[in-house]
Amino acid sequence: MSRSAAARVAPDDDRLDGDALPEVVRRYPRLRFMGSKYRLLPWIHGVLSELDFETALDAFSGSGSVAYLMKAMGKRVTANDLLHFTTTIARATVENDDVTAGADLAEKLQQKPAAKWPRFIEETYSGIFFTREDLQFLDLVSANVGRLRDPHRQALAMAALLRSCVKRQPRGVFTIAGDLRHYDDGRRDLALSLREHFVEQLDVYSRCVFANGKRHEVVQGDVFALAGRKFDLVYLDPPYVPRADDNCYVKRYHFLEGLSRYWKDMPVLAHTKVRKIAKVFTPFSYRRTAVDAFDRLFAQFRASTIVLSYSSNGFPDLDVLVRLLRAHKRRVDVHRKPHTYHFGTHSKVRRASVSEYLIVGR
């Protein structure tokens, strides 16, 4: 397999080391997510600790791990992402200071409502993802989550549901469907039903909730819509155009994106085998638009300290990015770390070595 972005998803059984890392960060529910920086958090923490800032933006928050790290560092954090499911997770873990879920909520969310509830998931995805029972469970819990009044309770329950789906789906991506028995290597995550996962995940997410005394914010939208907003530090981890394959998040995670809003205003493309939804355009995904997009991004945040994550297997090249950043910032430092990505199933884990960079512009 190539060192494509598709491959950059590690198994979720490794633990974070790094003595100085705030303890709560180790509790963050790691998500199998393309380009996740979870395993790099101790290193990112070390670099961020050298910088002076109070307010921070994680402009491409993805699985939310870096936004959560900065919250754990005592900062006032804004997390932004183009997608709805990723911002739901950040709402549950970064914006949410105190809402947790006990056994009573787990029970309430599994009770059948008096009136009929929609069966969209069962009707649309039977024979494609999960078992029929799992899909019925998703319809039921989605209906009940929609009735919760507190947005943070809603986000927490939805985050638990999303992570349950990722764990139960082989490789954690929704590009593969149908009979997936050949992926089954006896892993507990594949053996548990969605119902069993969900009860566990409610607890996992509840345990990561904490307050740092600051108010945090989550925004769903294009990074360029944040023009005019001021932050002491901006952490940028956009998708990079990979050397091979593509880096489309909607292609891999369409089911999670749909689920997070019960497919409201997200029509399913009926002719697609896995019942995808439409892609969302981002200029960072294409060679012809990426360089200009980076330039505009650096210009937009020129008044902030900029910390850019970059991996040696992405486009544009490191020296192009450094040159672009130098046009906007007086001092640019490059931190490098050799890093191994794991990919494949647990029985056949393979590795790819790349260099990870943090490019800091001040």
Ligand X SMILES: C[S@@+](CC[C@H](N)C(=O)[O-])C[C@H]1O[C@@H](n2cnc3c(N)ncnc32)[C@H](O)[C@@H]1O
Among 12, 196, 217, 222, binds ligand X (CB under 6 A): 222
CA distance 329 to 158: 40
CA distance 147 to 109: 9
- In the bound complex, what is the minimum distance in angstroms from residue 319's beta carbon to ligand X? 21
- In the bound complex, what is the minimum distance in angstroms from residue 225's beta carbon to ligand X? 8
The β-bridge partners of 56 are 77, 233
CA distances from 331 to 114, 269, 310, 312, 326 (A): 63, 47, 18, 21, 7
Contact pattern from residue 266 through residue 285 relative to ligand X, giving x for each residue in contact according to CB under 6 A and a dash for the rest: ----------------x-x-
Contact pattern from residue 83 through residue 122 relative to ligand X, giving x for each residue in contact according to CB under 6 A and a dash for the rest: x--x------------------------------------
When the beta carbons of 84 and 168 are compared against ligand X, the nearer one is 84
- In the bound complex, what is the minimum distance in angstroms from residue 3's beta carbon to ligand X? 15
Which among 68, 62, 33, 58 has a CA at the least distance from the CA of 209? 68
Which among 168, 362, 356 has a CA at the least distance from the CA of 259? 168
Phi, psi of 58 (to 5 degrees): -100, 100
Write out the binding residues for ligand X, residues 26-85 only, by CB under 6 A: 33, 35-37, 60, 62-63, 65-66, 80-83
Diameter of the chain measured on Cα atoms: 63
When the beta carbons of 82 and 194 are compared against ligand X, the nearer one is 82
- In the bound complex, what is the minimum distance in angstroms from residue 123's beta carbon to ligand X? 28
Q: Specify whether the CB–CB gap between 193 and 213 falls below 8 A.
A: no
237 binds ligand X (CB under 6 A): yes
Type of residue at 359: I
When the beta carbons of 130 and 174 are compared against ligand X, the nearer one is 174
When the beta carbons of 144 and 300 are compared against ligand X, the nearer one is 300
Count of Cβ atoms closer than 10 Å to residue 219 Cβ = 18
Type of residue at 315: F
- In the bound complex, what is the minimum distance in angstroms from residue 35's beta carbon to ligand X? 3
73 three-state secondary structure = coil
174 binds ligand X (CB under 6 A): no
- In the bound complex, what is the minimum distance in angstroms from residue 61's beta carbon to ligand X? 6
234 three-state secondary structure = strand
| Residue with the two structure tokens 């549901």 | 161
When the beta carbons of 85 and 137 are compared against ligand X, the nearer one is 85
Contact pattern from residue 246 through residue 265 relative to ligand X, giving x for each residue in contact according to CB under 6 A and a dash for the rest: ---x----------------
Residues that bind ligand X (CB under 6 A): 33, 35-37, 60, 62-63, 65-66, 80-83, 86, 222-223, 237-239, 249, 282, 284
